[in-house]
A and B are shown apart, each in its own frame.
Chain A
């Protein structure tokens, strides 16, 4: 996904400058506000694909800002950045109207992947697709069936969910923590390579014996399902 319009509301000058630069290098348009009120005004006046909001901001704190926007029926996806990383801080952030929560310090690749997923979600239509297709790989959510080149592949239930999530976000980088959160529903750091092993098992089932690999490892970031020809 290229050229998103992003608003970063972050009071720390260095952190903000770093983010603005990094997102621009990734080909996105970025605005920046240094406090809650300015950020609120910008978010109301302009159409953004994603807002990145620090939780602790001068003049208007992050959670109130999000609450205010949601009250105004502005449903732009919001990613909350916070130094508070405990489970219930996260819960509070999501309850206040945030769509995702990332604790500082974070890797930029993680942030970028999450922001892209949020922005895509905004673009997608409201209806949930029941059918995903990448190249000759087809996944039918309702029938719980997976085929590649017309040949059925049998997956474990969890492997199926893993692939479903990857295919839902085909063409986008999905990080290990995103997988742990969305496929396993845990928010902690698994510390070892547990996710990688699941991925390599999945890969051996869907890519083995085919010329075109579909499940790619993105170094230093995560994984992506993509039609390799693109």
Chain B
């Protein structure tokens, strides 16, 4: 494709051509309208002149008969620039006038007619005239007409003006189009070149911005922001995969060591069985860590927004409290629920559920006062009195609306986390002193934080004095009337609607 061909195929050039065509059509229409009006005006003037002359001549005829009429006609016909006159008998023989010939039949039709004619003394040229044929009493016919030369001249001028202006319009329009197209093409070419460079691997490249703040600049700016976001995500992913690789090596090494140890030391089938069972447990743990990391990475990358729908976070908090309540009791803790009704958020129910489960799990594991005597497990333990419970290890799951946010919180009365450590503990794999001896991956808070951020919310660690309060604050869905089982807004809620297997749906029998 030649440079010119490329130019001619640009949008800018095509647009110029389209404008050109529209201008030409409108110029033609304006000129045509003017010409038509001028013709109408000229015709009207001619008609009224003729009318006046016929009125005068009819009067002459009425007063002096055919002789007086012929005299007047002969006199007027000889004047320079005269109108056309013709007086004939009823069979068409010329009596007087300055018309040499007319097309046959013109005289037979009384009224106004536009016709060609030849003038006496100027037989060589046929011209056009507007005339009126009038039948006099005595069946003489009188024709009075005006030459149309003036009108034709005006018409010619108009047509010439139109063609000239169209030619100029075309030339200037085409050149202008090419000029604009070249300017745009140059900038688009520059953008394309940058894009090629970026695609070939240099992600730090950016599109050029001319500084004119026009639509191309805005496009380039937006594309640049997009590139910025892409490299952020890429870096995030790289960081996560590096971390995963690093953090999975430790448990993998442990797994391998166990296998080696078994090969070296184990003697009986029971020894082997015991080792294999621990190895399966360790692999499960590894898978769990891996899943948690993937979930965090995906939540942080913000790619899971598709699965969002509006749901009642209060019922999630209720469900999970109820799920963990027996486990809490068995661990000698009391799980209390202080959840308001109907707290609607737009989000991923599974992820928020998982985050809250992590917080409750943490509180049950680490939220116990070491010096308080643990309650003996089991609901039927008779030795527990209410006063001891009130002061002992209580974990509270709360949820309420605070302004335009829904706050879900899990608070315990355990040792808490020092202010200095609160920021740090959200990081991946961070486990504080004293908790390392207990099971856990150090990913629970990271996941909760990532989930909060995915939902444009935040995770806060606060002092429950004594103890720790962890708050997930999420944007509330404003003023909605909730109809159970119906999607709240078009496009939302539909995704999980069919598939979110209510208990039993999954197993329709």
CB-contacts of B364-412 with A (<8 A): 364, 379
Are the CB atoms of B506 and A191 closer together than 8 Å?
Answer: no
Chain B contact patch, size range? 35 or more
Q: How close is A172's CB to chain B, nearest CB, in angstroms?
A: 11
Are the CB atoms of B506 and A88 closer together than 8 Å?
Answer: no
Measured CA separation A185–B298 after assembly (Å): 22
Which A residues are in CB contact (< 8 Å) with B252? none
Are the CB atoms of B322 and A158 closer together than 8 Å?
Answer: yes
Known: A87-B348, A87-B351. A182 touches B509 (CB 8 A): no
Measured CA separation A117–B509 after assembly (Å): 10
Are the CB atoms of A189 and B291 closer together than 8 Å?
Answer: yes
CB-contacts of A150-189 with B (<8 A): 158, 161, 165, 168, 181-189
Are the CB atoms of A191 and B288 closer together than 8 Å?
Answer: yes
- Residue A94 at the chain B interface, CB threshold 8 Å: yes
CB-contacts of B463-509 with A (<8 A): 495-496, 498-504, 506-509
Measured CA separation A165–B502 after assembly (Å): 13
Are the CB atoms of B501 and A181 closer together than 8 Å?
Answer: yes
- Residue A95 at the chain B interface, CB threshold 8 Å: yes
Which B residues are in CB contact (< 8 Å) with A186? 319, 323, 350, 353-354, 357
Binds A, one of B140-148, B202-210, B324-332: B324-332
Measured CA separation A91–B506 after assembly (Å): 11
Known: A88-B495, A91-B499, A188-B353. A194 touches B324 (CB 8 A): yes
Q: Which residue of A lies closest to B351 (CB)?
A: A87
Q: How close is B64's CB to chain A, nearest CB, in angstroms?
A: 107
Q: How close is B494's CB to chain A, nearest CB, in angstroms?
A: 11
- Residue A24 at the chain B interface, CB threshold 8 Å: no
Hey, what's the 0/1 contact readout for A35-70 against B, CB within 8 Å counting as 1?
A: 000000000000000000000000000000000000
Known: A185-B501, A197-B330. A91 touches B496 (CB 8 A): yes
- Residue B422 at the chain A interface, CB threshold 8 Å: no
CB-contacts of A190-223 with B (<8 A): 190-194, 197-198, 200-201
Are the CB atoms of B503 and A194 closer together than 8 Å?
Answer: no
Which B residues are in CB contact (< 8 Å) with A91? 307, 495-496, 499-500
- Residue B24 at the chain A interface, CB threshold 8 Å: no
**What count of chain A residues pass the 8 Å CB interface test?**
39
Measured CA separation A161–B323 after assembly (Å): 13
CB-contacts of B110-149 with A (<8 A): none
- Residue A14 at the chain B interface, CB threshold 8 Å: no
Most A Cβ at <10 Å: residue of B350, B495, B509? B509
Measured CA separation A184–B319 after assembly (Å): 7
- Residue B295 at the chain A interface, CB threshold 8 Å: yes
Are the CB atoms of B327 and A189 closer together than 8 Å?
Answer: no
Q: How close is A40's CB to chain B, nearest CB, in angstroms?
A: 24
- Residue B306 at the chain A interface, CB threshold 8 Å: yes
- Residue A100 at the chain B interface, CB threshold 8 Å: yes
Hey, what's the 0/1 contact readout for B334-359 against A, CB within 8 Å counting as 1?
A: 00000000000000101101100100
Measured CA separation A126–B503 after assembly (Å): 18
Known: A87-B350, A91-B499, A188-B357. A121 touches B307 (CB 8 A): no
Measured CA separation A62–B111 after assembly (Å): 91
- Residue B175 at the chain A interface, CB threshold 8 Å: no
Which B residues are in CB contact (< 8 Å) with A95? 498-499
- Residue B462 at the chain A interface, CB threshold 8 Å: no
Are the CB atoms of A190 and B323 closer together than 8 Å?
Answer: yes
Are the CB atoms of A192 and B361 closer together than 8 Å?
Answer: yes
- Residue B152 at the chain A interface, CB threshold 8 Å: no
Measured CA separation A105–B348 after assembly (Å): 24
Which A residues are in CB contact (< 8 Å) with B291? 85, 189
8 nearest interchain CB pairs? Answer: A197-B326, A188-B354, A88-B307, A91-B499, A87-B350, A194-B327, A197-B327, A94-B499
Q: A158-B322, A188-B353, A192-B327 are in contact. List 5 more A-B contacts (CB 8 A).
A: A91-B500, A100-B506, A182-B507, A184-B503, A186-B353
Query: 25 A-B pairs, CB-CB below 8 angstroms?
Result: A86-B294, A86-B304, A87-B307, A87-B351, A88-B306, A88-B307, A90-B499, A91-B307, A91-B495, A94-B499, A94-B506, A100-B506, A105-B287, A107-B280, A124-B509, A182-B507, A184-B323, A185-B319, A186-B354, A187-B350, A188-B357, A190-B357, A192-B361, A197-B327, A201-B379
Chain A interfacial positions (CB closer than 8 Å to B): 85-88, 90-91, 94-95, 99-100, 105, 107, 117, 121, 124, 126, 128, 158, 161, 165, 168, 181-194, 197-198, 200-201
